[in-house]
Amino acid sequence: MTAAISFDNSYARLPPSFYARVLPAPAPEPRLVKLNRALAEELRIDPEALAGPAGLQFLAGNAVPEGAEPIATAYAGHQFGYFVPRLGDGRAILLGEIIGRDGVRRDLQLKGSGRTPFSRNGDGRAALGPVLREYLVSEAMAALGIPTTRALAAVTTGETVARERTLPGAVLSRVATSHIRVGTFQFFAARGDVESLRALADHVIARHYAEAANAAEPYRALLDEVIRRQGRLVAQWLLVGFIHGVMNTDNMSVAGETIDYGPCAFMDAYDPATVFSSIDEHGRYAYGNQPTIAHWNLTRLAESLLPLLAEDQEQAVATAREALARFPEAFNEAYLAGLRAKLGLSEAREGDLALAQDLLDRMAANRADFTLTFRRLCAAARDPAADAELRALFEDPSAYDGWAARWRDRLAEEGGDGAAREAAMRRVNPALIPRNHLVEGAIEAAVERQDFALFEQLLDALMTPFEERAVHAGFYDLPPQAQGYRTFCGT
Ligand code: AMP
Ligand code: MG
């Protein structure tokens, strides 16, 4: 059987200035490391065929599946605040689009499959470690219910790539509702190419924001909706302790999905100033700075859209300002709703944010583990006997006691069934996130010893993040004291 894939490539039908046609570079000795069978089925691709010899050739870039139209897309972007007018897919090739079983159109992209006209000085390659990191973290995000690109497969190429040292090369097959970025809009805006800008906006509306097409001002509606989705997305990140690490405008999807997992990581002890990325020297992309940066990036999107928002420049600026002013509301609403759920509060009351903030402040002052604090609150909501395990997470355990009294008063005001509350809290407070030491351990075993067992186990555990399963016992524990953890770019 061949791995038949039904492509329908709407992006490749856009004008030639949107992309460069390019073929993936072949891999000398491809080997399948991991296939996401469930995702293949959602995409109506036969997983058996994809795991077979013909499928492996596609996943490695050695053969282009029938119906695919490989392109590298053009985009610009602000990297750490500085504008670069031409970035584009330097190490990724979009094979085409597939309509899934759910009727949703998705991109299938190979990441790490060779040079493109956008590679600049890069080799267009990816190393196995970052490919596995993206696989683990993006699939974990999906299981946590957070919008994200997905990992369809990881293959090793049989080639080495030169980084700080020589590493095994790999290709990640990535799936996204689209790979259109804020930087894609910036690309055309910077060139003053309003016609292309309009074609791009129309494409994005048709693909992601169908309701906007019927609005009185479709481009304003598009901007509003991107702002709303991005606000909600960043709130969801904060609620699980996720740090993207490199929120450049070229790494922000206009579809509202988490995209481009480079130096991303989850924090263990709660500290809003947490930064892991080695290149983020000034903490621009620190955990607690992410809402501000999302707003900054959306401002760049709004600027790019100005020519479409109104004929009159002043009117366009006023419209953009109005839309951007709604970002804090979009973020705060989602963040506060999420915090309430994490604390087991089902009614909205004045003072809820202050109550949550008080806990977070005490956690920060006492280096309390973010994930475990909230997870252990689940049991404590039903039975104060569970407090002992919670207190132990705080350097000064009495810091918890003071807050818990306030919290219990608030829970009592609301009333309700303790067991039901605990169950609801367990559905929003994960027992497991891809902790740095676990991800590093899995990557190291794979890269240094070709041992993928830990990767498989961790991935399996991460698929059910709200459940502690006995087979995965050690994963749910506090991490060993990790100081100065650093992550690196270079997928
Ligand atoms: P990112 O790491 O996603 O922020 O990438 C920034 C830009 O650098 C994008 O245009 C990438 O395509 C490009 N890039 C990153 N790594 C490579 C590489 N190894 N070869 C070619 N281009 C790359
Ligand atoms: Mg990128």
Cα separations (Å) of 471 from 34, 221, 224, 376, 457? 21, 48, 45, 20, 9
pLDDT of residue 487: 76
Atom 8 of ligand 1, residue of closest alpha carbon: 90
Q: Is the pLDDT of residue 449 over 80?
A: yes
- Residue 348 within any structural domain of the chain: yes
258 and 326 housed in the same domain? yes
The verdict on 280 and 402 lying in the same domain is no
Indicate the top mutation candidate among 89, 91, 110 to test ligand 1's pocket, ranked by most ligand atoms within 8 A of CB.
91
- The total domain count for the chain is 3
Cβ within 8 Å of residue 276, ≥6 positions away: 243, 245, 263, 264, 265, 436, 485, 486, 487
Beta carbon of 117 within 6 Å of any ligand 1 atom? no
Domain-located, residue 486: no
Ligand 1 in reach of 249 Cβ (< 6 A): no
Does ligand 1 have an atom closer than 6 angstroms to the CB of 260?
yes
Distance 353 CA to ligand 2 centre (A): 34
One domain, residues 268 and 146:
no
Question: Is residue 258 situated within a structural domain?
Answer: yes
Please determine, for residue 484, whether its predicted confidence score (pLDDT) is greater than 70. no
What confidence score (pLDDT) does residue 394 get?
97
| Residue 481: per-residue pLDDT | 76
Note whether residue 192 is domain-resident: no
> What's the gap in Å between 131 CA and the centre of ligand 1?
14
Examine residue 190 and state whether it is found in any structural domain, yes or no: no
The CA radius of gyration of the chain, in Å to the nearest whole number, is: 23
Is the predicted pLDDT of residue 2 greater than 80, yes or no? no
Q: Is 297 among the domain residues?
A: yes
Question: Are residue 49 and residue 6 in the same domain, yes or no?
Answer: yes
Residue 467 pLDDT exceeds 60:
yes
**Are 176 and 51 within one domain?**
yes
* 325 plus 349 within the same structural domain: no
39 plus 174 within the same structural domain: yes
Whose atoms come closest to the Cα of 111: which ligand? 1
| Residue 89 alpha carbon to ligand 1 centre in Å | 7
Query: What pLDDT digit, counting tens, does each position of 114-156 carry?
Result: 999 999 999 999 999 999 999 999 999 999 999 999 999 999 9
Note the pLDDT tens digit of each residue in 222-249.
Answer: 999 999 999 999 999 999 999 999 999 9
Summarize pLDDT for 406-420 with one digit per residue, the tens. Answer: 999 999 999 999 999
pLDDT of residue 4: 84
| Ligand 1 centroid from CA 102, angstroms | 31
Q: 313 and 166 in one domain? A: no
Predicted confidence (pLDDT) at residue 163 exceeds the cutoff of 60: yes
Domain that holds residue 309: 210-334
Same domain, 140 and 43: yes
Residue 244 forms part of a structural domain:
yes
> Mean pLDDT over residues 22-42, rounded?
98
Pair (361, 234) in one structural domain = no
Instruction: Compute the distance from residue 250 Cα to the ligand 2 centre, in Å.
Output: 6
Over residues 314-347, the pLDDT tens digits come to 999 999 999 999 999 999 999 999 999 999 999 9
Amino acid letter, 129:
G
* Domain end (from 283, 313, 334): 334
Which atom of ligand 1 is nearest the CA belonging to 246? 4
User: Considering 129, 162, 182, which residue would you say is the last residue of a domain?
Assistant: 182
* In a shared domain, residues 36 and 105: yes
Tens digit of pLDDT for each residue in 350-381?
999 999 999 999 999 999 999 999 999 999 99
The rounded mean pLDDT for the chain is 96
Active site residue 387: no
Last residue of a domain, one of 309, 334, 359: 334
* pLDDT exceeds 80 at position 483: no
Flag the least confident range among 257-261, 436-440, 479-483: 479-483
Q: Are residues 263 and 390 in the same domain?
A: no
Give yes or no for residue 137 CB within 6 A of ligand 1.
Answer: no
Q: What is the mean pLDDT of residues 156-169?
A: 96
pLDDT at 489 over 70: no
Residue 451: both structure tokens together: 């041992």
Whether residue 1 is predicted with pLDDT greater than 50 in this model: the reply is no
205, part of any domain: no
Ligand index nearest the alpha carbon of residue 250: 2
